Amino acid sequence: MGKLHQTQTTLACSLGTLLTGLLYVWPSYTLHLYSAKHTTLLSSPMTDLEISLVGSLPSLGAMVGTALVGSILSIFGRQKGGLIIVLPLMISWLMIVLTTSSLVILIARFIGGLSAGAFLVHSPIFVSEVAEESIRGTLASTPMACYCLGVLISYLLGWFLTYRYIIWANIILCLIYVVLMITVTESPVFLMRQNREEDAQRAISHYRGASISSEIVLEQFLRLKQHITPAVELIAVESDVKVEEAEKEKLNTENEGFKEKSKISSFKFLCKFSFIIIIIFAS
């Protein structure tokens, strides 16, 4: 049951990379509609510069989205963060389907790129934090596989559907992503960093398919706590003095060893230098 929950979360967040594939391929079968002299989609045909920007602005937006997603995930978590980063993409598709202005479409493409960059960071982080070692490699490859699948699906949509139906299909997929992300459980790593230890234990129990009191859950909880909590906080107050003394002795020993090595190194250097001088004068 635990692996099923891990797979569910992986597929949910990997749908974001599928949406990214759809976003990037869309111009390949749409630009000819925008550049046509008698286009009915826009108030006036796009220029060559505007056509090139339609394809390049999402990448520029992705750079910004990649820079912002770290703060979003740290503040809101992996689950709620996923719900937040899909909003720019939904807004961008709505802007495109409702406008006839080339400028609005360009702005919408940039906004959609914010989500694209965020998805490519969010999915690997979420998967790595919930997947167990035995299937982590398989699940970690899912986001990239979904991206490639999104590229394929986008070409199929361009082949079979009309302009507006393609956009509405993208909006529906965004809504499906929202529904799937609502159903997943938050990452235990984020919960532990928020000092929500009970919630973190429940999350570990959910993703391992075992009871909270089971040995596997307790073991992973302690390992996670030791990894996240600074080592100083895990040391008992009574042992602070002993630890400090031990550290001092260790430093003193290392310093003495370093001094001895320095003396030996200096002596060796002096001997070598003297030997070289003798050879020079002898010759």
Q: What are phi and psi of 188, to 5 degrees?
A: -65, -25
Check residue 276 and give its pLDDT: 54
Amino acid at 279: I
Confidence of residue 225 (pLDDT cuts 50, 70, 90): confident
Superfamily of domain 2-184: MFS general substrate transporter like domains (1.20.1250.20)
- Mean pLDDT lowest for which of 24-33, 180-189, 270-279? 270-279
Q: What pLDDT score does 271 carry?
A: 55
> Following DSSP, what letter does each residue of 144-205 receive, concatenated?
HHHHHHHHHHHHHHHHHS-HHHHHHHHHHHHHHHHHHHHHSPPPHHHHHHTT-HHHHHHHHH
More confident of the two residues 235 and 112:
112
**What mean pLDDT do residues 6-23 have?**
95
Extract the tokens encoding 199.
């919630």
Q: What is the mean pLDDT of residues 158-167?
A: 94
pLDDT score at 209: 87
Domain ranges of the chain: 2-184, 197-232, 237-282
The band of 70, judged by pLDDT with boundaries at 50, 70 and 90, is very high
Tally helices (H) and strands (E) across the chain: 12, 0
For the chain, what percent of residues have pLDDT higher than 90? 64
**What pLDDT score was predicted for residue 256?**
54
Residue pLDDT, tens place only, 85-134: 999 999 999 999 999 999 999 999 999 999 999 999 999 999 999 998 88
Say what the pTM is.
0.79
Instruction: Please tell me the distance from the alpha carbon of residue 188 to that of residue 58, in angstroms, as a whole number.
Output: 32
Which tens digits make up the pLDDT trace of 163-210?
A: 999 999 999 999 999 999 999 999 999 999 998 889 999 999 999 888
Question: With 70 as the cut, is the pLDDT of residue 248 above it?
Answer: no
